[in-house]
Structure 1
Amino acid sequence: MLALENITLHLGDRELLDGVSTFINPGERIGLVGPNGAGKSTLLKIIMGIQECDEGSVALSNEESLGYLPQDGVDPDFTLTVIEEVESAFAELFELEMKVKTVQEKLAEVDHDSKEYEQLMERYGKLQTELESSGLYGLRAEVEKVLMGLGFSEEDFHRSTSEFSGGWLMRIALAKLLLKRPTYLLLDEPTNHLDIESLQWMENFLNSYEGAVVVVSHDKAFLDTITNRTLALRSGEISDYAGNYSFYEKKWEEEKELLLNAKKNQEKKIQQTQEFIDRFRYKASKASQVQSRVKQLEKMDRIELEEEQSKVSFRFPEPPRSGQVVIKLENLHKSYDDTQVFEGIDYEIERGDKIAVVGPNGAGKSTLIRILAGMEPHQKGERIEGHNVTVNYFAQHQADELNPKKDALETLKEAGSDAKESRLRTILGCFLFQGDDVFKKVKVLSGGEKSRLALAKMLLSPANLLIFDEPTNHLDMSSKNILQQAIQQYEGTVVIVSHDRDFLDPIVDKVLDVQPGYIKTYLGNVSYYLTRKREEAEAESEKPSPQKETKEDNQLSRKEQRRIEAERRNELNRQTKPIRKKVEALEKEIEEKELRKAEIEEEMTKPDFYDDAENVKKFSLEYDQLKADLTDHYSKWEEYQSRIEAIEAEMTVDS
């Protein structure tokens, strides 16, 4: 068990972490959530020993191991290829292989009848047994499988790591970490650099992972898919919820309602107490009572509520009306040197379209939307802009174009909007610039802060075609909700590259799938697109092979098929076993709770049940809790079954 005890950390006069204590059991799936700046990344660093805390301790047994993926800042060896860099995580295994080879060489040189030969043979046997049980012989296949799952092609394996961008280097670091299989896997925003296809692969991988997973993410769909427990950091304290992010979200809303009512009652009591003090402060006969109430106020633990940023909203400026056809691409060709990206594609965007652009990294999504935005040249074909079209384009690199000498508020004032300063401050608040943060100069902002400021600046321009490239990467849940609602209400045309399904689904009505060599449109949201892709893959896998085989080939293939089937069954059992264990435990709990629920219902039917008010209250509370628990348990049961079915489906396709 990984145990955190009284973790406390001050940043200046602010208490970032205030006596945080919790535990993590092997095999748990935990989402670590909270607003930006709550200390989530810091807590992971403290667990890893990268960051010191003022007080407290982290306990871990010697048999258990930690693995950590930071948000950024990975530092690979640029003299190595991709596959060499990933395999460097297993240096001790390759050293073991070298020891075996060294002993083999010595055995060839030593007299077979000598004592030394006998000792070498004994050492060789031990080393060989250790090597065989180490998993080294299957490591290369596993490395390639993980790299391909994360979006690398076979051609990429032998390219130098120096040829890859920061996002791809993060994927290499992630591959190393997943292959090491630590007891506790700590992931800080692992989805930021993944496309939808590699994101789905990683969800399947983590769902069958035997160790514990603790993940910081603002991707609600990802959290809901892989987690079954949520730790929420708020105002320096941590709260524990026995469910995924959606479960936590519901419970937290209920808790906030209770807190709000408690705060109102407390404020009423404070007011009454203060009125008593003010009324009788100078009356000698009431002096002791006044002092008593003064002490009550001093000792009272005041209920504080977080500022409700999620209630803040804004709308895009009313866009000028464009023609029916907004952008049209005809026979478009695009290449970089000898690399052909698009060859003769046709595509048309109509007024009011809300389009998600998806597909594997490297297929050309960002290139396509830069062409649509008129910011990327092409070699052949036409980009035809419709009547009265005005384009506003957001990409991560636009953060670098902000004036470093201006502060955040001045940056928005210069965006060409006549909005009042109070309105600009509200918009900045939506994107996590609170209080005096609006006066911070651009030059001192972090990469994420610059990206959010560039996004806020873009939203002030009244364009009728908005094009976004990964707009949610540096936004917390609240900011994403605000942006999502604004885009839903926007009457213009929108094109978005994003891997965040929960963000996209309520917005888009079309999905443009960009694959190497072709593009294809799906009419529906991203969930519909993923379902159709899965159905297409299944239909493709069921097609009979066109190859003709000889009798000998058939006999050989049947033997080989039996071996493959056995391996598949073993692998399927290995991946689904931990989930099936959870299903069995859950079914037992459901049975017990259903039994208890039936007992209470029987009690409720008795004529004298409602005679005892205290008893009614007690049983009613237990009954409501049982119903809530059963709803949650059945939801988890369905989720686990879906995971098993997804793994089975994936392995069926693979086979």
Structure 2
Amino acid sequence: MLSLNNISLSFGGEPLLQEVNALINPGDRIGLVGPNGAGKSTLLKIIAGEVVPNEGTIKKSQAATIGYLPQDGVDPDPNRTVYEEVESAFADIRKLEKKVQETQQKISNMDTGSSEYKKTMEQLGKYQSKLEQSGAYTLQSDIEKVLMGLGFSTDDFKRMTTEFSGGWLMRIALAKLLLQRPMYLLLDEPTNHLDIDSLRWIEQFLQNYEGAVILVSHDKAFLNKITNRTLALDHGKLLDYAGNYDYYREKHAERMEHRRKAYENQQKQIKEIQDFIDKFRYNASKAAQVQSRIKQLEKMDKIELDEREEEITFEFPPPERSGAIVMKLENVRKQYGDNVVFEDLSYTIDRQDKIAVVGPNGAGKSTLIRIMAGIEEATNGKREPGHNVTTSYFAQHQADELDLEKTVFEIMREADPHAKETRLRTILGCFLFQGDDVFKKVSVLSGGEKSRLALARMLLRPANFLIFDEPTNHLDMQSKRILQQALEQYEGTFMIVSHDRDFLDPIVDKVLEVRPQTTNTFLGNVSYYLEKVEEREKEDDDNRDTPSNGQNNGLSRKEERRIAAQKRQEKYNQLKPLKKKIAPLEEEIEQLESRKNEIEEEMAEPDFYDDEEQVKEISMEYEKLKAELVEIYAEWEELAMEISEIEEEFASK
């Protein structure tokens, strides 16, 4: 178990964490929640040992291992490929493999009857047992499985880490962490850089994870699927809820209602006491009672309501009515060098369509909406906006285009010079800029704060076609709810690239799936789309398991190729650990056979038997070699039989 004991931390004299206590069990699935700035990331860093608290301790067993994924700032080796970078997390396994090889080499030159031989054989057995327990024999297939689950293709394995963006570097770091399987896995916003396919994969991985998982995430659906316990940071204190995020919200609402009632009762009591003090302050006969009540007020533990609990709402200005067709793409081709993203793509967006754009990263989602927004031109084909269509576009990179010398408020004022100050402040408040935060210069804002400001600025501009690229990545739960509610009431048309199902489900009525060289449209929300994807995958599995008897069972050539690729991958995954085991055996057999031949040549010499001591020594070595070869050949034949059976099994499919 891992325990947090009276953890306290202050920054600049302001308390962030106050006497935090928690007990984390090996199988716990914990969601760590709270508003931005509550200290969630800091608490994870304390548990990981990266930040030292002012007071308190973290206690864990000596055998406990902790793995931590930060929100950003990972720094892989630029001289490694993706596969090499992930494999570098297992340097201890590679050292152990080397020890096994060295010990085997040492044994081959030892007297089988010596005590040293027996001792070394025992040591080799321990090394081999440890190596087997470490997962060394399946390491390569495990690495490939996790990388592919996180969205990397097999071609990506050999590419240098420097070829990938920050989001993909985070996936590499996540892959290393998941493969190491620490006893306590700490993940800070792991879904920010995932697409919907890899998000589904990691959900399944974490549901089957053997250790404890502690998640910080603003993805409500993700938290609900993974967690069974919630730790909530509230004014520096840590509150424990025995359920997932929905359970926490229900119990938290009840707690807030109790606090509100207690606050109202206390305010009533304070007023009565203050009224008595004001009435009899100058009455000598009541002086003692007045002083008693003054002390009562001073000692009273005041209940405060969290201003963050207040409901903030935001509404888009009513957009001008557009034509029935908002946007039409005809026979669009888009390529970068030799990479063709789209070929002969045609798509029409109608007025009041509410579209979620989903699909694996790299398939062209962002490229498609940039073409829609007119930010990027198609290589060939036609983009035709509808009548009276005004477009407003948001993407994360816009944060880098903000004027660093202007304040947050000046950025907003510049976007809409005629807006009232109260409206500007309300919108900024929706995106976590409150009080004096609005007077901060852009130059001092974090990357997340700049993204929120760019989104707030975009929402000021009246438009009837809104296009968003991952708008929720840096929003907390409350900010997402505000944006979600505003989009629910919005009368125009919008497209959103996002993997956040809980955010998208209530506001979209159409899903555009973008995959390499193809698009598909589903009339429904994201949950409906995921149901259809699961049905499609199940149907594919059923078709794969059904013998074709030389026929394609109505499958398209594309589906046949995909199923064939899956078969090849399955065959590869099953054969790889066996081939990895058989390779060193074949190498050892070759060495032993070579030495055996040398001895036989020596024994064939006429003067060989003149030296009795030499005859005895070489004869013992010869018998030992033959015995070892019998043993190794038996092991080799067993593995060769397994390989043959697997190859026959796949050949018959």
| Same-fold call, TM cutoff 0.5 | yes
**2:91 aligned with 1:103, yes or no?**
no
Residue aligned with 2:31, SS: strand
Q: Rg bigger for which structure?
A: 2
Residue aligned with 2:345, SS: strand
Q: Which residue of 2 aligns with 1:546?
A: 548
| Alignment map for 1:297-376 (pairs within 5 Å) | 297-308=297-308, 311-376=311-376
| Alignment map for 1:162-181 (pairs within 5 Å) | 162-181=162-181
| Alignment map for 1:275-314 (pairs within 5 Å) | 275-308=275-308, 311-314=311-314
Residue aligned with 1:263, SS: helix
Q: Which residue of 1 aligns with 2:2?
A: 2
The amino acid that maps onto 1:134 is S
Shift in Å, 1:282: 2.5
Q: Which residue of 1 aligns with 2:452?
A: 452
User: In the TM superposition, what whole-angstrom CA distance separates every residue of 1:380-401 from its partner, at most 9, and x where no partner exists?
Assistant: 1111111111111100000011
Residue aligned with 1:330, SS: strand
* 1-structure distance, mates of 2:463, 2:522: 26
Q: Which residue of 2 aligns with 1:645?
A: none
* 1-structure distance, mates of 2:439, 2:302: 31
**Residue 330 of structure 1 contacts residue 381 of structure 1 at CA under 8 Å; is this kept in 2?**
yes
* 2-structure distance, mates of 1:134, 1:67: 17
Q: Which residue of 1 aligns with 2:244?
A: 244
**Residue 352 of structure 1 contacts residue 493 of structure 1 at CA under 8 Å; is this kept in 2?**
yes
**2:440 aligned with 1:440, yes or no?**
yes
* 2-structure distance, mates of 1:482, 1:417: 23
Q: Which residue of 1 aligns with 2:211?
A: 211
Q: Which residue of 2 aligns with 1:488?
A: 488
* 2-structure distance, mates of 1:101, 1:189: 42
Residue aligned with 2:307, SS: coil
User: In the TM superposition, what whole-angstrom CA distance separates every residue of 1:300-341 from its partner, at most 9, and x where no partner exists?
Assistant: 000001104551111112212111111111111111111111
Residue aligned with 1:214, SS: strand
* 1-structure distance, mates of 2:210, 2:351: 49
Residue aligned with 1:393, SS: strand
| Alignment map for 1:243-282 (pairs within 5 Å) | 243-282=243-282
| Alignment map for 1:380-529 (pairs within 5 Å) | 380-529=380-529
Shift in Å, 1:119: 4.5
* 2-structure distance, mates of 1:305, 1:8: 22
Residue aligned with 1:59, SS: strand
* 2-structure distance, mates of 1:43, 1:476: 17
* 2-structure distance, mates of 1:275, 1:177: 62
* 2-structure distance, mates of 1:301, 1:441: 38
Q: Which residue of 2 aligns with 1:588?
A: none
Q: Which residue of 2 aligns with 1:235?
A: 235
Shift in Å, 1:510: 0.3
**Residue 408 of structure 1 contacts residue 441 of structure 1 at CA under 8 Å; is this kept in 2?**
yes
Residue aligned with 2:537, SS: helix
Shift in Å, 1:159: 1.4
Residue aligned with 2:295, SS: helix
The amino acid that maps onto 1:266 is Q
Shift in Å, 1:134: 2.2
* 1-structure distance, mates of 2:104, 2:20: 54
Shift in Å, 1:423: 1.4
The amino acid that maps onto 1:491 is E
The amino acid that maps onto 2:302 is R
* 2-structure distance, mates of 1:385, 1:291: 75
Shift in Å, 1:417: 4.6
**2:160 aligned with 1:189, yes or no?**
no
Q: Which residue of 2 aligns with 1:124?
A: 124
Per mean C-alpha deviation after superposition, the further-off stretch among 393-402 and 318-327 is: 318-327
Structure 1: segments with no counterpart, 5+ residues: 550-559, 568-654
Shift in Å, 1:128: 2.2
How many residues were matched structurally?
A: 554
Q: Which residue of 2 aligns with 1:648?
A: none
**Residue 417 of structure 1 contacts residue 460 of structure 1 at CA under 8 Å; is this kept in 2?**
no
* 2-structure distance, mates of 1:323, 1:129: 71
Structure 2: segments with no counterpart, 5+ residues: 552-566, 575-652
Shift in Å, 1:284: 2.6
**Residue 310 of structure 1 contacts residue 479 of structure 1 at CA under 8 Å; is this kept in 2?**
no
* 2-structure distance, mates of 1:30, 1:144: 28
- Provide the TM-score with structure 1 as the length reference: 0.82
* 2-structure distance, mates of 1:498, 1:417: 31
The amino acid that maps onto 2:381 is G
| 4+ residue runs over 6 A deviation | none
Residue aligned with 1:240, SS: strand
Q: Which residue of 2 aligns with 1:557?
A: none
Pair 130,309 (structure 1): closer, same or farther in 2 beyond 3 Å: closer
| Alignment map for 1:129-140 (pairs within 5 Å) | 129-140=129-140
* 2-structure distance, mates of 1:70, 1:456: 26
User: In the TM superposition, what whole-angstrom CA distance separates every residue of 1:211-244 from its partner, at most 9, and x where no partner exists?
Assistant: 1111000000000111111111111111111111
Residue aligned with 1:157, SS: helix
Shift in Å, 1:117: 4.7
Q: Which residue of 1 aligns with 2:605?
A: none
User: In the TM superposition, what whole-angstrom CA distance separates every residue of 1:193-215 from its partner, at most 9, and x where no partner exists?
Assistant: 01111111111111111111110
Shift in Å, 1:287: 2.1
* 1-structure distance, mates of 2:497, 2:537: 23
* 2-structure distance, mates of 1:129, 1:57: 36
**Residue 227 of structure 1 contacts residue 243 of structure 1 at CA under 8 Å; is this kept in 2?**
yes
Per mean C-alpha deviation after superposition, the further-off stretch among 112-121 and 20-29 is: 112-121
* 2-structure distance, mates of 1:207, 1:124: 36
